[in-house]
Amino acid sequence: MLKKVTLFAALMIIALAGSSAGYDYFDVTWGDDNTGLTARSLAMGGVGMNSEVNGTAVFLNPAQLSRMDGLTLGLDYRLTYAREDWSFPAHDNFDGYLVDNIYSQSAVVYPDFGFSIGYKSNKKRFSPGIGISYHPLKDYRYNYEEEVRESSGFAQPNERDSLISINSVRNEGRAYYLGFGAGWDFKPFHVGISYNYAPAAENSDREFEKKKIYPDTTVTNTIDEKFVSPKETGYFLVGLSFRPSDRFQASFTLRPEYMVEYGYSEYNIPLTISQSGIYEEVIPFEIGTALSYRPRSATMSYLEVEFHYIHWSHYRLYDEGTQTVYGADTTATAIDTTYHDNLENIWEVRVGVEHRFFGGIPARFGFRVSPIPDNRSVLTTVVSVGTGFAFGNLQIDLAGALTNRSSRQSGWFATGNRWDAEINKLKESHLQGTVSALYRFEL
């Protein structure tokens, strides 16, 4: 038995050499919330506070660790196809709308890995369930590129306007969290607590580049670069579940406010200004509630609904640093500001349904609706499906999800474009596929 556990754990650790999922415009600032860590959770709209009874509960609801039976090992693999289209409207001579002209498209595929370990002994009445999980919870990576062309209006069908510049945005950086938690069973109540720890992460390198191109002249580059180094951080998650029967369950989770500290430096090329210092980012608290119901029927069905409240109005970013301006004289200016971007508190809704046919094969469906703290009128919508197969003690789950978001935004490089930057249309979409394997050992 020990050899099997060691081999399986070694395979999971080797798989972690990959990177996490990639995301789009809004997520450059706030980082993507990797909802749906496992294939079952993703297929059901990201729910899991009541139904993920394995090691990943340290990120969802540690109270569910008390419901485990024996040893479970899980491995999750996800591919995300992230697409982004920027466009501006074209009008005729009478100012009538004709079509949206797409001026920038990007499509990137990213892999994502994670694992979990859970164990609970049933030999003692109040023995705790223990869970460990490793997943990338935040991802700030982003890739954008646009071509700016001369708007002469005289190009022929087989010709293109002259290229003026190529602008790009590149952002790297992601936060992997290692969660440790325990849960206790006091029927009909279950309680749990976890600490989800992120060590000092790799740098988040953001680069804005404007490559100006003039026919028959030398290429001129203007680059703004920013290097951000997150320090180690972590947060507690407290969970409580009420489960009076196998048919009904209600849960509550609380993630208190916590702080992340970053060291940063940024500069321009050609060198005109540089800045360095420390960011202190205050992440607001989040409250989650979940209700699940399993009706009486010949075939098993299951419904789970979650509501998540995030108090974004308490988000803060403290900037303490120095600024140096290069010119005839070099000066240093102390910077001590408090940043608040008028963010709005949001409610997020997740719904998941599972129906098992007479052969025991599940059909899963879900959706998720989440506003953006910048603007609650901009909604992220997720529609997902999935299924699973059991082979003895091995459970294989499959899931797919489509995420869409549409908004109007100022372009990244508004001054370099010939159109009205305030009416750019942005369409974002993710196509995700996840495979999860969960093995239960008979101890």
Q: Which of 431, 299, 432 is nearest to 353 (CA)?
A: 299
> DSSP assignment of 60-96, as one string?
H-GGGGGG--EEEEEEEEEEEEEEEEEEEEEE-TT--
Q: Which pLDDT value is given to residue 188?
A: 95
Query: Is 324 exposed, middle or buried (CB count within 10 Å of its CB: 0-12, 13-18, 19+)?
Result: middle
Give me the domains of the chain, ranges plus CATH numbers: 2-441 (2.40.160.60)
pLDDT (0 to 100) of residue 38: 95
Q: Which residue has the tokens 């920013």?
A: 226
Which residue shows structure tokens 């749906």?
36
Q: Which two tokens stand for residue 362?
A: 């599940």
Length of the chain, in residues: 443
pLDDT for 147 equals 78
Q: Mind giving me the DSSP string for 259-276?
A: EEEEEEEEEEES-SEEEE
Q: Specify the pLDDT at position 271.
A: 64
Supply φ then ψ for residue 359, to 5 degrees. -80, -5
How far apart are alpha carbons 311 and 347 in whole angstroms?
Answer: 9
Strands annotated E in 140-247 = 142-149, 163-171, 174-186, 189-198, 204-212, 220-230, 233-245
pLDDT for the residue numbered 273:
65
What are the φ/ψ torsions at residue 271 (nearest 5 degrees)?
A: -70, 110
| pLDDT, position 267 | 73
Q: Are 443 and 2 in contact (CB under 8 A)?
A: no
Q: Is there a contact between 347 and 380 (Cβ–Cβ < 8 Å)? A: no
| 423: phi then psi, degrees, rounded to nearest 5 | -115, 20
Q: With contact defined as beta carbons under 8 Å apart, do 182 and 61 qualify?
A: no
Report which of 371, 437, 367 is spatially closest to residue 401, judged by C-alpha positions.
367
Q: How is 342-366 classified by DSSP, letter by letter?
A: ----EEEEEEEEEEE-TTS-EEEEE
What whole-number distance in Å separates Cα of residue 80 and Cα of residue 22?
A: 7
Q: Which two tokens stand for residue 299?
A: 């075939």
Residues β-bridged to residue 313: none
| Vertex 87 angle, CA 86 and 88, to 5° | 145
Rounded Cα–Cα distance for residues 183 and 240 (Å): 9
* Residue 326 and residue 269 in contact, taking contact as beta carbons nearer than 8 Å: no
Q: How far is Cα 74 from Cα 119, in angstroms, rounded to an integer?
A: 12
From the list 289, 264, 195, 267, the residue with the least C-alpha distance to 233 is: 195
Q: What is the rounded CA–CA span in Å between residue 402 and residue 391?
A: 28
CA distance 155 to 9: 61
Q: Please say whether the dihedral angle defined by the alpha carbons of residues 48, 136, 281 and 199, taken in this order, is positive or negative.
A: positive
Residue 38: exposure state from Cβ atoms within 10 A (0-12, 13-18, ≥19): buried
Closest by CA position to 73, among listed 361, 389, 435, 394? 394
pLDDT in tens, the chain (443 residues): 333 333 323 322 222 222 223 345 666 655 556 678 899 999 999 999 999 999 999 999 999 999 998 999 999 999 988 888 988 877 777 777 777 788 888 888 888 899 999 999 877 777 899 999 999 887 777 778 887 777 655 555 566 667 777 778 777 777 788 999 999 999 899 999 999 998 865 544 444 454 544 444 455 666 777 777 778 889 999 999 999 998 999 999 999 999 888 887 877 766 666 778 887 888 899 999 999 999 987 668 999 999 999 998 888 877 777 766 665 455 555 555 555 667 889 999 999 999 988 778 999 999 999 988 877 888 889 999 999 999 999 999 999 999 998 888 777 776 444 455 457 888 989 899 999 999 999 77
**Contact partners, residue 219, CB within 8 Å, separation at least 6:** 211, 212, 213
Asked if 87 and 100 count as a contact pair (C-beta separation under 8 A), the reply is yes
Which pLDDT does position 1 carry in this prediction?
38
Partnered with residue 385 across adjacent β-strands are 365, 400
Q: Which two tokens stand for residue 210?
A: 């404007």
